[in-house]
Amino acid sequence: MSASIKTLVKDGVWDNNVVFTQMIGLCPAAAVTTSGTNGLGMGLATTAVLVIANVLVALVRNIISPQVRIPVFVVLIASLVTVVDMLLNAWLHELYKVLGLFIALIVVNCAILGRVEAFASKNGVWPAFVDGLAMGFGFTVALTLIGLIREFLGSGTLFAQASQLLGASFAFLEIRAHENGGALLMILPPGAFAVLGFLLAGKRLLDTRKNAA
């Protein structure tokens, strides 16, 4: 199996996007995307864990016997996330105060186990690294998009509090789009399902048109 980098990236971002095509990891995709900044933060944290988990599993894939692979992966991922959580809390405490909420949630993100099981356990370290990065990027784009749409419709801002996550130099991202206050429903859980539904429909439509052409 020797997928080229280009295929891997295209797969992760569009053809096999974690949220829009595989439809896994929907819990964080719906729960934390109340703003573009939150979506971006969750996406970045997940990407980091996904890349490390993919590489770790690709490294040990030859000694893992198929019968116990799932418990081994679960132990690996859960320990990895816990270690990342502690290291961040200790040494990047300011970032942790913003991202901390998301990190614990990554443990239960089945997108990680899904990628580890479907890809990293069958491929070398380098492809696994690229796959983790590409899938993570696709996940980040999806979450940021959902977050931005909900934020725009629900509170009339874009990337509110981005400077808290990315540093003061990113304050230019914070936009007050309109002053209407917005529809609160979009910030509440139903808004997540509505936005996700429309985005899924949109992607299907694009894909169908592309295939028909």
Residues near another protein (CB under 8 A) are: 34-35, 63-65, 67-68, 71-72, 75-76, 78-79, 82-83, 86-87, 89-91, 93, 97, 154-155, 161, 184, 187-188
Q: Which is nearer to another protein, 51 or 153 (CB)?
A: 153
Min dist. Cβ of residue 17 to another protein (A):
26
Q: Which is nearer to another protein, 171 or 184 (CB)?
A: 184
Q: Which is nearer to another protein, 18 or 58 (CB)?
A: 58
Q: Which residues are within 8 A (CB) of 37 and not within 5 positions of it... i.e. 6 or more apart?
A: 147, 159, 160, 161, 162, 164, 165
Smallest distance, Å, CB 48 to another protein?
16
Cα 192 to Cα 146: distance, rounded to the nearest angstrom: 7
Closest to another protein by CB, 104 vs 184, is 184
The beta strands (E) that lie in the chain are given as 157-158, 175-176
- Those residues whose C-beta lies under 8 Å from the C-beta of residue 147, and which sit 6 or more positions away, are 32, 33, 34, 35, 36, 37, 38, 39, 40
